[in-house]
Amino acid sequence: MGILEGQLATITKNTMKKVMEDKGYAFFEEGDYNLNIIGIRNVSGRADRFDDNMIVLYKNNGKWMVHSYEITTEPGHKILKRPINSKGTAILIPDQYRGAYRIGTHKTYTALIQRGAKVKVWRDDNRDSKPDYKGEEDEGWYGINIHKHAGSDTREDTGGVSAGCQVFRSSKDFYEFMDLCDIAADTWSNSFTYTLLNSEDVYKEEKA
């Protein structure tokens, strides 16, 4: 996990704003704690790894802040091989999901849960150990939540923790993230937009 502020935060904000605007997505700049929650998927074709990132960009007292976290945006081997849905395992499609998330209960603890809008997923039904970034698309209410890993923060593999959810590797990072969400909910409302990008979208902009 890392936190950027000052000039580095502003540079990162400018890059991400350009990526978002090029795709026609909203980028929130008004006021403090108006969170931009952005997942960046490493399209490696590998499951069971926390090899993706989430960055959260917002202003605090008018100054830009950037938090970066290790996450997974894909299901692990266990769920890919044994889907819980007859159509196949859900893999969230890169897009912006406006107002799709609320603070609520995931299992026994507070997390961001899919309560505000439908999301789009690919259905990976070939039951191998590699996530497929194509195929049949579904749109609906699938409980594609944003939550923490159930095991040790030092664990390398994701295990069966995700059936399509966006999952933090570190519990400490997750609770820091939820603290930001609590402040944002008090400042604005209990409604959060999540944007999922591919890593190529960001790297292309950085090289431009």
84 pLDDT above the threshold of 90: no
Residue 120 to residues 6, 7, 117, 142: CA-CA distances in angstroms?
36, 35, 10, 9
Higher pLDDT: 116 or 208? It is 116
Higher pLDDT: 153 or 128? It is 128
pLDDT confidence bin for 1, thresholds 50/70/90: low
pLDDT for residue 44: 72
206 pLDDT above the threshold of 80: no
Helix axes 6-22 and 199-207, enclosed angle (nearest 10): 110
* Mean pLDDT, residues 137-160: 84
pLDDT for residue 156: 73
* Neighbour count for residue 118 (Cβ, 10 Å): 14
- Burial of residue 205, with CB atoms counted within 10 A of its CB: 0-12 exposed, 13-18 middle, 19 or more buried: middle
Alpha-carbon Rg for the chain, nearest whole angstrom, is 16
pLDDT for residue 139: 97
Lowest mean pLDDT among 75-79, 85-89, 114-118, 204-208: 204-208
pLDDT confidence bin for 190, thresholds 50/70/90: very high
> What is the pLDDT of the chain when averaged over all its residues?
91
pLDDT for residue 127: 87
Q: Residue 182: which domain range? A: 2-207
pLDDT for residue 48: 81
54: its two tokens: 């989430």
- Residues 6 or more apart whose CB falls under 8 angstroms from that of 92 comprise 73, 119, 120, 121, 144, 164, 166, 196
pLDDT confidence bin for 205, thresholds 50/70/90: low
Calculate what percentage of the chain has a pLDDT beyond 90: 68
pLDDT for residue 47: 78
pLDDT (tens digit per residue) in 29-78: 999 999 999 999 998 767 788 899 999 999 999 999 999 999 999 988 88
pLDDT (tens digit per residue) in 110-148: 999 999 999 999 999 888 888 888 888 999 999 999 999
Q: Count how many domains the chain has.
A: 1
